[in-house]
Amino acid sequence: MEELIEFIQSNPDPRELKRALAVQMVMQNYNPSKIRNILGVSAGFVSKWKYIFVEQGITGLRLSYKGSKSYLDSAQKQMVLNWLEQRNYWHLSELKEYIEDNFNIIFESLQSYYDLFKDANISWKKTQKKNPRKDPDLVTKKN
């Protein structure tokens, strides 16, 4: 019980805190319906986390998902950012080619490339000084 109180006071993630509080309240003989009302959880939530705590202890209450591993490590990412900063112009296709040639990595989503542009403070979106719809010559040329 003391270990549980220390865990709660260590200010964990809110999801972990809710799990720990539910277990603590069960250990203090609170009525499960009262726990549900106080924490805003279901009866299954209370019993599930009580069971997991009994089986695994504090480690069972912790979040298990830690995120995915990045394809580029920090040194490789810094190399890409330096390469982008040295360029006078930027094309998505050139960035893809550079990463594939140097690191043998092909991202499934274009968002990964866009994030690299963003990290280098580069806008990959094309801008126009004037709206072409306002210029009838450009509109007719486009059509």
Domain count, the chain: 2
**Is residue 68 in some structural domain?**
no
pLDDT at residue number 89: 78
pTM as predicted: 0.50
Tens digits of residue pLDDT in 51-110:
999 999 988 988 887 777 888 999 999 999 999 988 877 888 999 999 999 999 999 889
- CATH code, domain with 53: 1.10.10
Q: Final residue of a domain: which of 61, 94, 110?
A: 61
User: Helix 74-86 crosses helix 110-119 at what angle (to 10 degrees)?
Assistant: 70
How far are the Cα atoms of 25, 37, 95, 97, 121 from residue 91, in angstroms, in the given order? 58, 55, 6, 10, 14
**Is residue 57 in some structural domain?**
yes
Tally of residues, the chain: 143
Same domain for 56 and 79, yes or no, is no
Local structure of 36: helix, strand or coil: helix
- Using the predicted structure, report yes or no on whether residue 31 has a pLDDT greater than 60: yes
Domain residues for the domain of 47 are 2-61
With vertex at residue 52, the alpha carbon angle to CA 47 and CA 54, rounded to the nearest 5 degrees, is 95
pLDDT at residue number 10: 84
- Using the predicted structure, report yes or no on whether residue 132 has a pLDDT greater than 60: no
